[in-house]
A and B are shown apart, each in its own frame.
Chain A
Amino acid sequence: NAGVTQTPKFRVLKTGQSMTLLCAQDMNHEYMYWYRQDPGMGLRLIHYSVGEGTTAKGEVPDGYNVSRLKKQNFLLGLESAAPSQTSVYFCASSYPEAGADTQYFGPGTRLTVL
């Protein structure tokens, strides 16, 4: 199993450009998440999905959109990139059992917006 994979690994954008980050998991997990990690801030949840066709906002959703058309894929879109969106983006997935929710993380995408 590949686990959780992210595409691309690195990307540089100019302000105002758009892009889509792809997350894929082969563990048949129901839940998927997108986080951003900034120095000294830990991880902050952008959006998450509890199943195919569903999405929900996290702590910092503004400026991002997501889609979960297939169970194994979770896409994160930036319609008009801003320098404040320079960050490392992590995708995670989980198969929550009652009272527990362990997340499996991808390797991250380092995004720079100039």
Chain B
Amino acid sequence: SQQGEEDPQALSIQEGENATMNCSYKTSINNLQWYRQNSGRGLVHLILIRSNEREKHSGRLRVTLDTSKKSSSLLITASRAADTASYFCATFRWDNYGQNFVFGPGTRLSVLP
């Protein structure tokens, strides 16, 4: 079953605006990661936030994590046309079976020039 669920499924904004994507999950986690995928390419890691962290920044990216609500958000500030891509959250935890690394279905972001 899907662990991470992104919201919205698709988002279209103008260049310069901020883009916010949300991710919800169901079980306890060790960390949550956000990845980006350009059309026809593999995923690229953007940022990782551990379960004991609440907020993290990397350039124009800001990630928050609320473990009590089992949710995370990714904010991209001052968006550019080059930010057009699909964005995936992925939860990671160790369980009785070993690694449990689960991706959500993704948010398709379109940044219009």
Q: Do A and B come from one complex?
A: yes
In terms of DSSP, what is the predominant structure of the interface of chain A? strand
Chain B residues lying within 8 Å of A106, measured Cβ to Cβ, are 42
The reply on A12 being an interface residue by CB < 8 A is no
Q: Knowing A40-B105, A43-B103, A50-B98 are in contact, say whether A99-B41 is a contact too (CB < 8 A).
A: no
The reply on A74 being an interface residue by CB < 8 A is no
Chain B residues lying within 8 Å of A43, measured Cβ to Cβ, are 43, 88, 90, 103
Alpha-carbon distance A41/B40, docked complex (angstroms): 16
The reply on B30 being an interface residue by CB < 8 A is yes
Chain B residues lying within 8 Å of A99, measured Cβ to Cβ, are 30-31, 50
A103 and B106 within 8 A (CB): no
Chain B residues lying within 8 Å of A26, measured Cβ to Cβ, are none
The reply on B102 being an interface residue by CB < 8 A is yes
Interface residues on A, range: 20 to 34
Interface residues on B, range: 20 to 34
Chain A residues lying within 8 Å of B44, measured Cβ to Cβ, are 105
B41 and A108 within 8 A (CB): yes
A42 and B104 within 8 A (CB): yes
Q: Knowing A42-B106, A100-B48, A102-B33 are in contact, say whether A107-B99 is a contact too (CB < 8 A).
A: no
Q: Knowing A33-B101, A43-B43, A90-B42 are in contact, say whether A101-B106 is a contact too (CB < 8 A).
A: no
A42 and B103 within 8 A (CB): yes
Some 6 contacts from A to B, beta carbons below 8 A apart, are A42-B4, A42-B106, A100-B48, A101-B92, A103-B33, A103-B90
B residues with a Cβ closer than 8 A to A are: 2, 4, 30-31, 33, 35, 40-45, 48, 50, 88, 90, 92, 97-99, 101-106
A residues with a Cβ closer than 8 A to B are: 4, 31, 33, 35, 40-45, 48, 50, 56, 59, 90, 92, 99-108
Q: A45-B102, A99-B31 are in contact. List 4 more A-B contacts (CB 8 A).
A: A44-B103, A90-B42, A103-B45, A107-B42
